[in-house]
Amino acid sequence: MFRPGLALQLTRAVPRRFASTVAAGENEFVAKRAAMREHATQTTDLWKKISFFVCIPGIAVCALWTYKAEMAHKAHAAHAGNHAGGGDHGEDATDEEAEHGGRKVYSYMNIRNKPFPWGMQTLFFNPEINIPAEEQ
Amino acid sequence: MTNAVSQPRYQFQFHPFHLVEASPWPLLTANATLSMMIGAVLYFNGIAHGSTLVTLGFLATLFAFILWFRDVTTEGTYLGDHTLMVQKGLTMGVSLFIVTEIFLFLSIFWAYFHSSLAPTVELGSQWPPVGVTALNPMTVPLLNTVLLLSSGATVTYAHHALIEGNRRAAIVGAGLTILLAVMFTALQGLEYMEADFTIADGVYGSCFFFSTGFHGFHVIIGTTFIAVAFFRIINYHFTAEHHMGLESSILYWHFVDVVWLFLYAAVYWWGSDGVF
């Protein structure tokens, strides 16, 4: 099944250190493995400290900052009575552009050439913020 | 005569390569993905039963993947088919796959910059276009950046712990990574619901949801990849020297992480045009 001649040819053509798991010169291979493990032992502790004492507090601080900013944004939106922005551009609108709750809908907005497979509204449609498309 | 030493010479292979056996999974996968693709086209065009076909096609693809990867896991973990040479080839394959992914995202970024660098007169010659309010890059997107960068640290912790032979730390690190990844996806979903604009709002909506949506899709795949590695650590599949599944998932995760950094800089920060 396996011609000895071909096998000999192959083993001679391919340098053994690429073709074998053990013939790399056992010492070099073992030394590399040992160095890797040694490196990992030192760096595991470093990455543990980075994970627990830098990343997690960083996420907590950033989450708090985001929460505060979002709450301030919500309060401001409720006060203004219209969360959807863009109303200040109203004077630029032409006749063919509709208006929705003080917000101009320009010709390139809220485009529907046909319904989505699930209906007229977009997948992440939020009736409190987005302008609804007309049902067909 | 079950002793390996006493077995005939021809029962040993003279090379380090993995000559795969005949398998039904490539054919099943091809059929499943074809069914899913045809089903998706029918569904998108509102043709009857398209949704049924796309669902069945997706489930068939999922089952084909599970059965195929189950075989690969068996070959690599229990049958010893993944020699150092084979591991090298597999790593090269994963790397080349990631290169193709980089070019996929390159085209997505191309579409974005094509539209945003010189916005047309119809959009008011500005980006974001007149009437579109971009998301504030200093709130949830910033938190998401911190989450993804942190997950890169925790996954390195898991990797080095595994090499060190510290099973408990490897499990904790991988578990934390999955947790951060799930938090990222949840926050992205929240942002999608809170956005003023939709995918139907002209080229801004198209580019935003195309780029961040494809990234989100890749985050979900990467999370699944790391979750598989997580359960394989728990099931003692990996050794300190041989854990290609985990290493491939880490490579993929870093790719997803780097794409996010570019997305954050270009789409969220630069793309909001200093409104905030």
- The interface predicted TM-score (ipTM) is 0.85
Measured CA to CA in angstroms, residue B20 lies from A2, A18, A136, B81, B94 at distances of 17, 20, 55, 9, 18
Which pairing describes strands A98-100 and A103-105: parallel, antiparallel, or unpaired? Answer: antiparallel
Residues 6+ apart with CB under 8 A from B139: A65, A66, A69, A70, A73
Residue A125 Cα, gap to closest chain B Cα (Å): 7
List the pLDDT tens digit at each of the 136 positions of chain A: 445 555 555 555 545 555 455 544 568 889 998 999 999 999 999 999 999 999 999 999 999 999 999 999 888 877 765 444 444 444 444 444 566 667 788 999 999 998 899 999 999 999 998 999 887 5
The three-state DSSP-derived secondary structure of B200-258 is: CCHHHHHHHHHHHHHHHHHHHHHHHHHHHHHHHHHCCCCCCCCCHHHHHHHHHHHHHHH
Instruction: Look up the pTM and report it.
Output: 0.86
> Spelled out in words, what is the top-level CATH class assigned to the domain B23-81?
mainly alpha
B38-92 per-position pLDDT tens digit? 999 999 998 999 999 999 999 999 999 999 999 999 999 999 999 999 999 999 9
B117-171 per-position pLDDT tens digit? 999 999 999 999 999 999 999 999 999 999 999 999 999 999 999 999 999 999 9
Q: At what angle do helices B244-263 and B202-234 cross, to 10 degrees?
A: 160
Contact: A55, B143; criterion CB under 8 Å: no
A103 strand-pairing partners:
A100
Give the burial class of B75: count Cβ atoms within 10 A of its Cβ; 0-12 exposed, 13-18 middle, 19 or more buried: middle
Fold of B82-273: Four Helix Bundle (Hemerythrin (Met), subunit A) (1.20.120)
Q: Do domains B23-81 and B82-273 have the same CATH topology?
A: no
Residue A62 Cα, gap to closest chain B Cα (Å): 6
Domain boundaries, chain B: 23-81, 82-273
Q: Which residues of A touch B160 (CB under 8 A)?
A: 40, 43-44, 47
Residue A37 Cα, gap to closest chain B Cα (Å): 6
A119–chain B Cβ distance below 8 A for any pair: no
Measured CA to CA in angstroms, residue A97 lies from A73, A110, B162 at distances of 28, 11, 61
